[in-house]
Every structure is written in C-alpha cells, then in structure tokens.
Amino acid sequence: MRRPGTTKRTTAAGSAASERRDHLVKLAAELFARKGFQATTVRQIADEAGILSGSLYHHFDSKETIVDEVLRTFLEDLTARYRAVLESADDARTALTEMVRIGFGTLEPHRAAITVMQNDWNYLRSLPGDRFGYLVKAEDEVERMWVEQIKHGQAEGLFRDDLDPKLTYRMIRDTIWVAVRWFRPGGRLNTTALAEHYITVLFDGLAIGDRTSHNA
C-alpha cells in the first residue's frame, strides 16, 4: 500500500517479477510450513535472508502479503493442471486417476504451500476482511471438477452407485493432501509410488476375492 511501485504485484504469476522477491517468498514459505504462519516472525524471515526485518517492508506490505503469494502460486498451478487433464480425459476413471496423480505430483514442488494451507487455512480465513476469500473460491472450483467426474463415473456404470459423490471427493482430497505431513522427498517411496498405491486401493479396495459386504 505504501510503496505502490515496488509492491503492487499481488499474484505470483505477475510478469517480470523481481527474483529477489520470489526468493524471499520461498524462504518465508519454508518457515511458514515448518513453524506455522503465526509462529513465524518477520525477524526470522529476514534472518534467513540475511537482512534486517525492517528491510522486508521494502518488498512487501505485510506478512500477510507474503503468505498470500505463497498460496496463490500453488492454487493457480493446481487448477491449471486439473483443467488440462479434464480436457483430454476420455472416461471418468481415467480422469480421476490422472487427478490423483496430479495431486500427489504437487506434493514435492508445492510442499510448503500445501502445508501452510492445511495448518493455517482456518486462521487465514478468520482474518478480518475478505483478503483470503479466494481460497474458498478455488476450493469450490476444484470440488466441482472432482464431483463431476465421480458422478459421470456413476452414470457410466463404472463406479458404485451407493456412494456419496461429495463425500467421496472429500476423502480422496484429504488423503492426498494430508500426506504432506509425513512425506519426505528421498524417502522409501516417491510421489509416483504413493499415487499408484492409492489408486489401487481407491478403485479396487484392500480386500481380495469376494466383494460381498462383510460387516461385523
């Protein structure tokens, strides 16, 4: 607000950006992910960058502006990827499979942003004003895409008809994103393996053999 010339960029997709600024955003994102948005101080961000906290305000209006940029970048990339898949998928099962792969595929490049979304979503949404209202908008768009495919699959006779599409979507979404809590790059399993593992369970289930209900 105070230095329109240097801080007017509000989306990370904004052209011709300062690399310095982007670098600062990345440093901040790691701290936000590790310690939480609120617990991260502007002093820590500045320390990480080797400058003093006051100097940060040459680049950003506020701490909120930084986290805003972290989340926007992620959401823009995610929705773009989903849209691309949906244009080319032939049937619902293929579309869902690809969407699951996209989800797990963002775990590594957007690990920090996803962590922040998970942990600080409630807090950011509760802030006065509607600054983070776009979070809900983006979530709604993504939900529509998933639910539509699930319903198509049911209509096509590919998926069980007795499942609630919205509930099914939520469980898939949660299972994917929440993996950022424990996923570490370079570990025993990479995100591709995670995706294929989950796709197997999701479509075909854990059980072997008969598919009759088996309730206690």
Binding site for its own copies (CB under 8 A): 34-36, 38-39, 93-94, 97-98, 118-120, 122-123, 126, 153, 157-160, 162-164, 167-168, 170-171, 174-175, 178-179, 181-182, 189, 194, 196-208, 211, 213-216
> Which residue number, 84 or 201, has a Cβ lying nearer to its own copies?
201
Does position 18 interact with DNA (CB under 7 A)? The reply is: yes
Kindly state the tokens that stand for 74.
């992620």
Q: Is 195 within 8 Å of 100 (Cβ atoms)? A: yes
> Which residue number, 52 or 136, has a Cβ lying nearer to DNA?
52
- For residue 144, the partner it binds in its own copies, DNA, none, with Cβ less than 5 to 8 A by kind, is none
- For residue 43, the partner it binds in its own copies, DNA, none, with Cβ less than 5 to 8 A by kind, is DNA
Q: Which residue has the tokens 């990345």?
A: 26
Collapsing DSSP to helix, strand or coil, 68 comes out as helix
Question: What is the C-alpha separation between 112 and 31, in angstroms, rounded?
Answer: 8
Instruction: Give how far Cα 33 sits from Cα of 11, 124, 170, Å.
Output: 20, 14, 23
| Burial of residue 120, with CB atoms counted within 10 A of its CB: 0-12 exposed, 13-18 middle, 19 or more buried | buried
Among 27, 32, 40, 114, binds DNA (CB under 7 A): 40
Q: Which spans of this chain sit near DNA (rule: CB under 7 A)? A: 1-2, 6, 18, 20, 40-43, 46, 50-55, 57-59, 61-64
